[in-house]
């Protein structure tokens, strides 16, 4: 049963004092105690009833609640018979440790509460136990070795009538179960929403399953945990199990069953990760050759070995692109390279480009906080090309992050950042070193932008934006302040909108008619505003040099 059910039973005389967000915890038993340290008698999941006889001074509350929270109890119910109202120090301690706290009115005995909880828990266990034992047996014999996560999810569908999906941290569907009359596909936007909720909940330390209502449907999300010591090492690479059901009222046995399912799927997750070892090693070898300035012939020989592995059946001389990613955590105490490597392997999945199983086409190496992907691009015939050459359908930086930006931003939280750079495509080993440097420069351009998840492509390196990230911060501030602060101050005092007018005027290449039309102004009004800009700054917007200064100041502000 759930803690929430205790409040719905009026005869128990319980009043919630704190922890409403934790009322979906499962109650597996009940314990009455006034011991100062009852930890030896706790196994987790209990509703603890206490008359507060252990409390001699306010500091005792923090110690007692800390012991309960460490033991994993479901909640605490304090009687009012001994001290009257529950002390504020106990309420505050429970809030700090996210432990739900109830008060029990004086005329309700602990025995009544105990009897009610035991009766509910025992009834649920008796009803489900035999079926659960059988399902566990079947799941263990149909685990990943017998058909991957699909086999496990099919059992959830056939035995429990549950639609379920295994999702990547970006919301990509890895596997799904089917029910009669409904397909397994989960809309991409729904998968991204579920992944975002999973990542955000994991970062805040909430215990799974996480529940998310979307429209008329409630989804329950079960983490599929990795083996990293620090959550930041795995939160952006762990899969999740999404079930189309509200697990808030499930019996403990059913929850145990679903947790068992996540353990089986975790084995499959590890197996697939191990299968990437060859591709990672190939990428590492090529990267080392490129970085150490090896001869193009030596790099080309290594690529001839790599191409059949990465693009079987598509020839030995594809075009290549390089993608560089960097994950950085505040404090620098968690290495970002392995996280960035796994993320690139996920983000670069593109069924339209790489075929039905694109995860087998990406080779990613990592060093330090940086990951480098060697992406083969099959040549695409182009009727407009001459000399018999072919073009390639290359990767675009913005497109790579379009569908994954929201969930990854939530997973990075307030202390993480992902930046990504994409090179142009090259058709030979001679171009790989330049492509690597190009991708790294593009990533630095992305790093200069605001936001937790940013990307930049090679096409931006021919623009002024390549120079802006390397301008010292104090120079940037002084330059923009000298040009724009007079306009900002004037706008603040008079609501004149000089800054938006300047941006529109430059964007329209100084065309009075087009700018006035865009701003819905009369041309004379526009001329007045531009004249005021020139008067406040001492600049002349008819001069190319002054236009360029204003343009750069706006881009750096």
Other CB atoms within 10 A of residue 120 CB: 17
Contact 85, 52 (CB under 8 A): no
Give percent helix, percent strand, percent coil of the chain, each to the nearest 5: 55, 15, 30
Determine the Cα–Cα distance for residues 171 and 193; give it in Å rounded to an integer: 7
Residues 332 and 391 in one domain: yes
The CATH number of whichever domain residue 102 belongs to comes to 3.40.1390.20
Contact 139, 267 (CB under 8 A): no
**End residue of a domain, out of 443, 470, 497:** 470
Indicate whether 140 belongs to any domain.
Answer: no
Long-range contact list for 176-180, CB < 8 A, 24+ apart? 176/150, 177/150, 177/153, 178/154
Residues 169 and 308 in one domain: no
Indicate whether 334 belongs to any domain.
Answer: yes
Determine the Cα–Cα distance for residues 320 and 348; give it in Å rounded to an integer: 13
User: What is the pLDDT at residue 546?
Assistant: 87
Q: What angle, 0 to 180 degrees and rounded to 10, lies between the N-to-C axes of helices 544-556 and 498-507?
A: 120
Residues 344 and 405 in one domain: yes
Indicate whether 138 belongs to any domain.
Answer: no
Phi, psi dihedral angles at 99 (to 5 degrees): -105, 120
**End residue of a domain, out of 254, 274, 294:** 274
Residues 518 and 423 in one domain: no
Closest CA to 124 of 239, 256, 276: 256
Residues 364 and 421 in one domain: yes
Determine the Cα–Cα distance for residues 509 and 342; give it in Å rounded to an integer: 44
Residues 336 and 368 in one domain: yes
User: What is the pLDDT at residue 189?
Assistant: 86
User: What is the pLDDT at residue 77?
Assistant: 92
Residues 534 and 552 in one domain: yes
Strand-pair partners of 465: none
**End residue of a domain, out of 274, 289, 317:** 274
Indicate whether 310 belongs to any domain.
Answer: yes
Residues 160 and 75 in one domain: no
User: What is the pLDDT at residue 235?
Assistant: 74
Indicate whether 130 belongs to any domain.
Answer: no
Please tell me whether the peptide bond between 209 and the residue prior to it is cis, using omega within 30 degrees of 0.
yes
User: What is the pLDDT at residue 392?
Assistant: 45
Counting the structural domains of the chain, the total is 4
The CATH number of whichever domain residue 459 belongs to comes to 3.30.70
Determine the Cα–Cα distance for residues 83 and 185; give it in Å rounded to an integer: 57
Please give the chain's pLDDT, 557 residues, in tens: 788 888 877 778 788 999 988 888 888 888 888 899 998 888 888 999 998 989 989 999 999 999 999 999 999 999 887 677 899 999 999 999 999 999 988 888 888 888 888 777 765 554 454 455 455 555 545 454 445 677 777 777 776 778 889 998 888 888 887 554 445 578 888 888 898 888 888 877 777 788 888 888 899 999 887 555 566 777 777 888 999 988 887 877 778 878 878 887 887 777 777 777 877 888 788 888 888 878 878 888 877 776 666 655 444 456 788 899 998 888 777 778 888 888 888 888 744 433 334 445 667 888 878 899 888 776 554 444 444 444 445 677 777 777 777 888 888 888 888 889 888 888 777 778 888 888 888 888 888 788 888 888 877 765 555 556 556 777 778 888 889 999 999 999 999 899 999 999 988 888 899 899 989 999 999 999 999 999 999 999 988 888 888 888 887 77
Q: What's the gap between Cα 96 and its chain centre?
A: 26
User: What is the pLDDT at residue 359?
Assistant: 47
Contact 200, 206 (CB under 8 A): no
CA-CA distances (angstroms) from residue 463 to 150, 270, 383, 459, 466?
A: 48, 43, 30, 8, 6
Indicate whether 296 belongs to any domain.
Answer: yes
Contact 80, 104 (CB under 8 A): yes
User: What is the pLDDT at residue 149?
Assistant: 74
Residues 332 and 464 in one domain: yes
What letter does residue 206 receive in the DSSP assignment? Answer: P
Residues 510 and 462 in one domain: no
Residues 446 and 497 in one domain: no
The CATH number of whichever domain residue 152 belongs to comes to 3.30.450.30
User: What is the pLDDT at residue 68?
Assistant: 94
Indicate whether 15 belongs to any domain.
Answer: yes
Residues 433 and 452 in one domain: yes
Indicate whether 178 belongs to any domain.
Answer: yes
Determine the Cα–Cα distance for residues 130 and 183; give it in Å rounded to an integer: 30
Determine the Cα–Cα distance for residues 309 and 371; give it in Å rounded to an integer: 20
Domain that holds residue 105: 3-118
């Amino acid at each position: 049963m759930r803690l929430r059910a205790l409040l719905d039973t009026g005869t128990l005389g319980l009043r919630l004092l704190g922890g409403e967000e934790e009322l979906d915890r499962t109650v597996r038993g009940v314990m009455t105690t006034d011991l100062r340290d009852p930890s030896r008698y706790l196994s987790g999941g209990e509703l603890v009833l206490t008359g507060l006889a252990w409390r001699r001074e306010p500091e005792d509350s923090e110690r007692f609640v800390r012991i309960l929270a460490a033991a994993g109890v479901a909640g605490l119910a304090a009687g009012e018979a001994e001290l009257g109202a529950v002390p504020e120090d106990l309420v505050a301690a429970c809030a700090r440790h996210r432990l739900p706290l109830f008060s029990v009115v004086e005329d309700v005995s602990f025995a009544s509460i105990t009897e009610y909880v035991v009766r509910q828990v025992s009834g649920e266990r008796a009803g489900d136990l035999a079926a659960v034992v059988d399902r566990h047996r079947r799941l263990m014999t149909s685990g990943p070795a017998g058909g991957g996560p699909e086999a496990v999810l099919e059992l959830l569908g056939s035995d429990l009538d549950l639609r379920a999906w295994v999702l990547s941290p970006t919301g990509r569907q890895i596997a799904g179960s089917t029910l009669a009359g409904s397909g397994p596909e989960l809309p991409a936007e729904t998968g991204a929403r579920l992944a975002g909720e999973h990542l955000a909940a994991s970062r805040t330390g909430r215990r799974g399953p996480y529940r998310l209502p979307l429209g008329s449907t409630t989804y329950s999300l079960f983490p599929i945990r990795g083996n990293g010591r620090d959550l930041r090492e795995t939160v952006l690479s762990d899969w999740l199990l999404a079930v189309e059901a509200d697990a808030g009222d499930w019996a403990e046995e059913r929850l145990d069953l679903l947790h068992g399912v996540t353990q089986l799927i975790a084995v499959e997750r590890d197996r697939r990760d191990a299968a990437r070892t060859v591709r990672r090693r190939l990428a590492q070898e090529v990267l080392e050759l490129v970085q150490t300035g090896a001869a193009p012939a030596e790099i080309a020989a290594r690529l001839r070995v790599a191409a059949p592995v990465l693009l079987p059946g598509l020839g030995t001389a594809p075009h290549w692109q390089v993608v560089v990613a960097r994950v950085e955590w505040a404090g620098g105490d968690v290495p970002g390279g392995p996280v960035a490597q796994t993320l690139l392997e996920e983000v670069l999945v593109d069924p339209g480009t790489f075929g039905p199983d694109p995860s087998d086409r990406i080779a990613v190496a990592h060093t330090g906080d940086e990951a480098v992907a060697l992406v083969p691009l099959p040549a695409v015939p182009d009727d407009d090309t001459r000399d018999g050459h072919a073009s390639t359908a290359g990767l675009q930086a913005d497109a790579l992050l379009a569908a994954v930006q929201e969930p990854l931003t939530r997973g990075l939280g307030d202390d993480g950042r992902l930046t990504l750079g994409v090179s142009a495509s090259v058709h030979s080993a001679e171009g790989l070193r330049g492509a690597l440097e190009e991708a790294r420069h593009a990533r630095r351009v992305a790093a200069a932008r605001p936001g937790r998840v940013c990307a930049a492509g090679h096409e931006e390196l021919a623009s002024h934006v390549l120079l802006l990230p390397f301008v010292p911060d104090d120079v940037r501030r002084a330059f923009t302040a000298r040009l724009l602060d007079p306009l900002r101050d004037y706008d603040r005092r008079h609501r004149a909108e000089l800054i938006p007018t300047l941006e529109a005027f430059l964007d329209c290449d100084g065309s009075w008619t087009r700018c006035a039309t865009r701003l819905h102004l009369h041309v004379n009004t526009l001329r007045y505003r531009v004249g005021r800009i020139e008067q406040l700054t001492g600049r002349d917007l008819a001069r190319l040099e002054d236009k360029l200064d204003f343009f750069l100041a706006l881009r750096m502000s």
